[in-house]
Structure 1
């Protein structure tokens, strides 16, 4: 194949190679001419952008306050309507608080912060004293050029919005669940408490649990508790039936199941997510949050993922009417392993 012939206009972009020197194929075109923004040349545009940033910061602060007010003002009485109102108001408040402070930061950077391109050559990590003084002077100059010192309202709004932004996290951390200790050591499960379907609370007949099936279970007396949501978070259970021959024999758990019907805590021992996925072919339980996997044939031992403790088993039996009932509470507290366990 013959060499490609470049047009005369393109040949000017190539340097002829000298002996012992690699030719430079393309010349550096340099940076394009800087285009000034309206706010750089028009004081009215700068003031308009400043007001827009201030409005966005105020909306962020308002969203944060809506979240906090909704958290305490909207009562949770267990009905779907109040739960929906609470979730919507909390979500909108938190979303607006985060969204508008982000938009304000972007708008401030694009309209008021300096946008000229600069080149900073690499140098040793610690410069000389003179270079350090120059760096400090550059920082001071940058702060002056940003205009925040002159724009007191924007600076105040930024400080106010940033100060309020962490408050939803503080409120949410307070509501993550019961504190470690006796609260987790005891649940509503007790001798004779029937296993009931979630959420209908209808008791379960042992004859209705077929091999390969799985039931999401709560204590029959759950809704009698004043704080039934907190109690459900501790007492939720999964019930499955398998061929008893596939489960490894453990003399310490003899009599805890009913002809292959097993009940295990639904609360993952990693960080407390609901273990809600059952694979009947492999007899594996999967936590969807971080993929911790528990093997039912090994009494829900952890075989994969970050959890480091098996799911607690609920001992069960059949009562005189054929319903599944608990023999006792869990013999170890359910929930994440990092909580203190007495």
Structure 2
């Protein structure tokens, strides 16, 4: 067996130019460029000037935050400037100034005052040794020392002040989320406002969704499921006019129901609810008790109602108890009766809050 000839890396057919440098010279390590000291590294006056610049930027951020808070209380929400909302315009400018002040200040701090040295770190395929961990902690300590945050109180204190003030607008703006439940109960802005109640009242008719027509028990056959609403949505406003705007959305988001008819002997009524149905007709909240999705996917043979969002499943023949999914409690049930004209009406409002669970519910 012959030994293959040793080559110099060139093909025998490839001409070799003797004037070209060797291949190893083509990829020589260029090394690091000569380090150039910054003015702040060699001139104490330049260093102090840069420190004042950084502190001024952080102070500017704090001033913008204070102006943001002042504008929240002094500018009316209806004021406009050139067709734009004055309050939102000032909010945007002040918040931009606050964030830019902190961002540019940190950049200037890093460029002019933090240590200007080259570092190199090797990566390891597995967990570092105790020695490497100790070295990392030491490197972090050295980095904090080199940043100068400990020996530059002006920069440190101005940065902490700017960051601290920047959190105040979030606290103040929480007022705009709306009144608390206790405030709504004491002074409801709309019918059915608050967490505890809906627009349903004693004697209010159950009407079909969209069209608003009342429902007689004879209109429903076994297995039917109807999306329904309280009659107040259609004539519950002032002077008997239909609800509109926010009042309509508040009432509909909590008052929507499903009406289903089941064979009476297949119904298992929870204790105390034996007279809440009419000839096998039951009424439940349409709002899922998990996260509040509207539900109406009905399987008539099992009497199961499925939520399309997260597949919570409720047995309508057994008090709408949860048989599957993340929902933690049954759908609230609306007690039904029949008025003098033969239409389905509510006996009262729901006896428990509708919708997803919240922190005050047991």
Distance 1:319 1:255 in 2: 15
Q: Does the C-alpha gap of structure 1 residues 266 and 34 become closer, same or farther in structure 2, counting only changes over 3 Å?
A: farther
Aligned to 2:106: 109
Aligned to 1:193: 204
Distance 1:141 1:99 in 2: 30
Contact 1:204 1:324 in 2 (8 A): no
Distance 2:276 2:287 in 1: 19
Deviation digits for residues 229-268 of structure 1, max 9, x if unmatched? 6x95798232334453599621345553456764323554
- Which structure has the greater CA radius of gyration? 2
- The alignment partner of 1:256 has SS state of coil
Aligned to 1:244: 262
Distance 2:31 2:51 in 1: 29
Match 2:227 to one of 200, 214, 218: 214
Q: Does the C-alpha gap of structure 1 residues 158 and 280 become closer, same or farther in structure 2, counting only changes over 3 Å?
A: same
Deviation digits for residues 163-194 of structure 1, max 9, x if unmatched? x1441365367845349x99866555343123
Distance 1:255 1:156 in 2: 64
- Displacement after TM superposition at 1:314 (Å): 0.7
Deviation digits for residues 52-110 of structure 1, max 9, x if unmatched? 5554554444445545668xx76xxxxxx9xxxxxx88977887776665444433333
Deviation digits for residues 100-126 of structure 1, max 9, x if unmatched? 654444333333234855457867499
Query: Within the alignment, does 1:12 sit opposite 2:29 as a pair?
Result: no
Q: Does the C-alpha gap of structure 1 residues 101 and 187 become closer, same or farther in structure 2, counting only changes over 3 Å?
A: same
Number of aligned residue pairs: give it: 304
Distance 1:263 1:111 in 2: 66
* Structure 2 runs not aligned, ≥5 long: 1-6, 12-19, 79-84, 123-127, 187-193, 239-245
If the length of structure 1 is used for normalisation, what is the TM-score?
0.56
- The alignment partner of 1:236 has SS state of helix
Contact 2:51 2:109 in 1 (8 A): yes
Aligned to 2:293: 275
Q: Does the C-alpha gap of structure 1 residues 237 and 101 become closer, same or farther in structure 2, counting only changes over 3 Å?
A: same
Distance 2:87 2:266 in 1: 47
Aligned to 1:316: 336
Equivalent residue runs for 1:1-342 within 5 Å: 12=24, 54-67=59-72, 101-113=98-110, 114=114, 116=116, 118=119, 124=130, 139-144=144-149, 149-150=154-155, 156-162=161-167, 164-168=168-172, 171=175, 175=179, 177-178=181-182, 188-195=199-206, 204-206=213-215, 211=224, 213-217=226-230, 219=232, 232=250, 236-242=254-260, 244=262, 249-252=267-270, 253-254=273-274, 256-257=276-277, 262-270=282-290, 273-280=291-298, 284-286=305-307, 291=310, 293-295=312-314, 297=316, 299-337=319-357, 339-340=359-360
- Displacement after TM superposition at 1:313 (Å): 0.8
- The alignment partner of 1:334 has SS state of coil
Superposed CA RMSD: 6.0
Contact 2:297 2:308 in 1 (8 A): no
